[in-house]
A and B are shown apart, each in its own frame.
Chain A
Amino acid sequence: MINDILYMNGYGIYVWSSFIFTLTSFGILYSVVKLQLAKEQKKFEIKFNNLASEKIELAKKQETYREILSNTSTYKI
Chain B
Amino acid sequence: MLNYFNPKNTILIINRLQKYVLILFLLVLVIGLLEALVLSPEDYKQSDSVRIMYVHVPSAWISLGIFSIISILSFGILIFKNKNFHLITKSLAPSGFVFNLIALVTGSIWGKPTWGTWWAWDARITSMLLLAVFYLMFILSWRVVDNNEKAIKVSSIIAILGLINIPIIKFSVDWWSTLHQPASINLLKETSIHSSMLLPLGIMTAAFALFSILIFLMKYNTELIKIKNKGLDRL
How many residues belonging to B are interface residues under a CB distance threshold of 8 Å?
Answer: 43
Q: Are A14 and B222 in contact, with the CB atoms below 8 A?
A: no
Q: Pick the contact of B219 from A14, A33, A59, A71 — CB < 8 Å? A: A33
A26-B204 Cα distance, complex, nearest whole Å: 13
Q: Which segment, of B99-107, B162-170, B172-180, faces chain A?
A: B99-107
Q: Are B37 and A44 in contact (CB under 8 A)?
A: no
Q: Given A22-B102, A25-B102, does the pair A59, B232 have CB atoms closer than 8 Å? A: yes
Assess whether A37 is in contact with B218, with CB atoms less than 8 Å apart. yes
- Say whether A15 contacts B15, CB under 8 Å: no
Residues 46-75 of B at the A interface (beta carbon under 8 Å): 47-49, 51-52, 55-56, 59
Residues of B within 8 A of A12 (CB): 48
Contact B11 A67 (CB under 8 A): yes
User: Which residues from B are CB-within-8-Å of A65?
Assistant: 228
- Chain B nearest CB from A27 CB (Å) reads 11
A30 to B105, CA, bound (A): 19
Provide the bound-state CA to CA distance between A29 and B42, in Å: 31
A5 near B37 with CB under 8 A, answer yes
B102 touches A21 (CB 8 A): yes
Task: Chain A residues near B232: list those with CB within 8 A.
Answer: 44, 47-48, 51, 55, 59
A-facing residues in B194-227 (Cβ within 8 Å): 211, 214-215, 218-219, 221-222, 225-226
A50–B56 Cα distance when bound, in Å, is: 49
Q: Mark A28-45, 1 if CB is under 8 A from B, else 0.
A: 011001101100110110
Are A29 and B98 within 8 A (Cβ)? yes
CB distance from B45 to the nearest CB of A (A): 12
The answer to whether residues A14 and B113 also contact, given A22-B55, A29-B215, A67-B12 and a CB cut-off of 8 A, is yes
Chain A residues close to B by CB (< 8 Å): 5, 8-12, 14-15, 17-19, 21-22, 25-26, 29-30, 33-34, 36-37, 40-41, 43-44, 47-48, 51, 55, 58-59, 62-65, 67-68, 70-71
